[in-house]
Amino acid sequence: MTTTALNTQVGGDHYKKLAIQPMEFSCANMWDAAAHTALKYLTRYRDKAGVVDLEKAQHCIELRKQLIEGSLIFKICRVFGICYNPFDRARPVITIDQYIDANGIDRYSKQADTLVALANFVTTGEVYFANDCVRLIDRMITEYQHEMRTTA
């Protein structure tokens, strides 16, 4: 096999083993840095830092929400009643459902629900979806902590 950047990973294999890596998904769909970083943490949390990764994902979502709410373009749009939506994008190259399925994430899990909410936040800019992500991650943290206590 030819060595490529996608089949090489420094410090583990938590991305290399995925069918669609977070970087592939984010680049294909032009996701911003905050959304990509949240996706990365939500995807790897079981294989890397557990609750810390989930808390980092929440932080990235909150940062993105604040940056969107505070952006000059949105302030101008509100003042002048302009309907500008930078989140109105063409159909994604890789859908979040394809990402979830390709990477073996349980379709009925909170992890999948959170990834869907994140994708909705990225494509619509609606704060509701950001709040939904944060709420779902809170539940994931509680469940993961419980899971770690019962297996210890």
Domain region containing 96: 25-38+51-151
Nearest-CA neighbor of 113 among 97, 128, 93, 102?
A: 97
What is the rounded average pLDDT for all residues in the chain?
85
pLDDT at position 78 over 80: no
Q: For residue range 23-43, list pLDDT tens digits in order.
A: 999 988 888 899 999 999 999
Tell whether 18 is covered by a domain. no
Tell whether 43 is covered by a domain. no
Tell whether 46 is covered by a domain. no
Tell whether 108 is covered by a domain. yes
Tell whether 30 is covered by a domain. yes
- d(C-alpha 116, C-alpha 124), whole Å: 12
Domain count of the chain? 1
More confidently predicted of 66 and 107: 107
- d(C-alpha 34, C-alpha 40), whole Å: 10
Tell whether 143 is covered by a domain. yes
Q: For residue range 92-113, list pLDDT tens digits in order.
A: 678 899 999 999 999 999 999 9
Tell whether 65 is covered by a domain. yes
Tell whether 123 is covered by a domain. yes
Those residues whose C-beta lies under 8 Å from the C-beta of residue 114, and which sit 6 or more positions away, are 42, 57, 133, 136, 137, 140
